[in-house]
Amino acid sequence: MSSINSNSGAAVALQMLGGTVEQKETVQEDIATGKEVNTAKDAAALWAISQVMESDVAGFSAVSGSLSLGEATASVAAVGAERMTEVLQDMKQLTIMASSGAVDYSKIETQMAHKTEQLNSIISSTQFNGVNLLKTDTDGTGSTSLTVAASFDRQGSGTASLATISVDSLDFEGSPSFDINNRTAITDQASAQTALGEIEGFLKYAIEGAAALGASATQMSDQNDFVGRLADSMKVGISAMTDTNMEQASVRLAALTVQQQLGSLSLSIANAAPNSLLALT
């Protein structure tokens, strides 16, 4: 039944048009933001999971920065320790020469003193960002090691925990195994032989220390690479849950645009029906 007082066809067409417009606005927002799940009202469960994962990704980014800083610090210290082994090898050669006799012991001792000063200079200057792993006090606060964040771990819905990597100072200043400033002075053949034994011990300590620092730097580099890969994988997972599929959204937007046009046309036709009735009067 047709009526000039109520236009049921127009009401239905308007209702359908309104639904189409609302869907189109949603798709347009998804395309504009690049996220299908952008707020809690879009999908509460997925949004909550994505927020936790994004927080963990941010944590991994901070861990990566800490590992990079730690790796650089250990690498610089390793370079210093390696240089010390070279100086100690020179000192070993001098003590061997002195042990053979028929040399000017005073000149040998002068060279040994210069080498000792060089070692102390290396110890005091080998620092990165204020941290020196060759000294007793690594950072001026009494610390004897370097601790860096290594991983950001979460189990189930529990609170995340932070794992660390520690690198101990080689302590070239205070270790009894490297008492370079109290080495035996070379004054004769006997003292040269004593000094040779001491230098051998110092050299072994420096070599082992440089190797340990190098291993620590490698460990932090490998861990940093793993953390980076883990963060990338988590970003992919977050994207799969929340990001807009642009191909599907574009097709959906085109379809809704056509539906909106057809709805507007249907509404126009329905609104024209009462006019047709009036024309009969």
Q: How confident is the model over 204-246, as pLDDT tens digits?
A: 999 999 999 999 999 999 999 999 998 888 888 877 776 666 6
Q: Pick from 9-23, 36-50, 212-226 the range whose average pLDDT is largest.
A: 212-226
Mean pLDDT is lowest, of 37-41, 50-54, 217-221, 263-267, for: 263-267
Mean pLDDT is lowest, of 90-94, 112-116, 227-231, for: 227-231
- CA 21 to chain centroid: 44
Report the C-alpha gap between 131 and 169 in whole angstroms. 10
Q: Is the pLDDT of residue 115 over 90?
A: yes
In the predicted model, what is the mean pLDDT of residues 175-198? 94
The pLDDT, as a whole number, for residue 100 is 84
| Position 267 confidence tier, pLDDT thresholds 50, 70, 90 | low
The pLDDT, as a whole number, for residue 1 is 45
- CA 107 to chain centroid: 52
Report the C-alpha gap between 226 and 151 in whole angstroms. 9
Q: At residue 75, what are phi and psi to the nearest 5 degrees? A: -65, -45
In the predicted model, what is the mean pLDDT of residues 237-264? 66
The pLDDT, as a whole number, for residue 259 is 66
Helix (H) or strand (E) holding 169: none
Q: Is the pLDDT of residue 41 over 90?
A: no
What is the sign, positive or negative, of the torsion defined by CA atoms of 44, 50, 56, 61? negative
Which own/partner pairs from 50-58 qualify as long-range (CB within 8 Å, at least 24 positions apart)? 50/238, 50/241, 50/242, 53/234, 53/237, 53/238, 54/238, 56/152, 56/154, 56/160, 56/234, 57/231, 57/234, 57/235, 57/238
Calculate the alpha carbon distances from 278 to 12, 14, 250, 266, 267 in Å: 21, 22, 43, 20, 18
**Domain 49-243, what fold?**
f41 fragment of flagellin, N-terminal domain (1.20.1330)
Report the C-alpha gap between 115 and 95 in whole angstroms. 12
Mean pLDDT is lowest, of 70-74, 78-82, 222-226, 276-280, for: 276-280
Q: How many helices (H) and strands (E) does the chain have?
A: 5, 2
Percentage of the chain modeled with pLDDT above 90: 51
Average pLDDT, the chain: 82
- At 223, list the tokens: 């861990």
Q: Where are the extended beta strands (E) located within 114-176? A: 145-153, 161-168
* Rg, the chain, Cα only: 38
- At 152, list the tokens: 């950001």
The pLDDT, as a whole number, for residue 50 is 76
Per the CB < 8 A criterion, the answer to whether 203 and 177 are in contact is no
Q: Is the pLDDT of residue 88 over 60?
A: yes
Higher-pLDDT residue of 42 and 61 is 61
| Position 60 confidence tier, pLDDT thresholds 50, 70, 90 | confident
CB neighbour list of residue 263: distance below 8 Å, 6 or more residues apart: 13, 16, 17, 20
The CA angle 232-233-239, to the nearest 5 degrees, is: 90
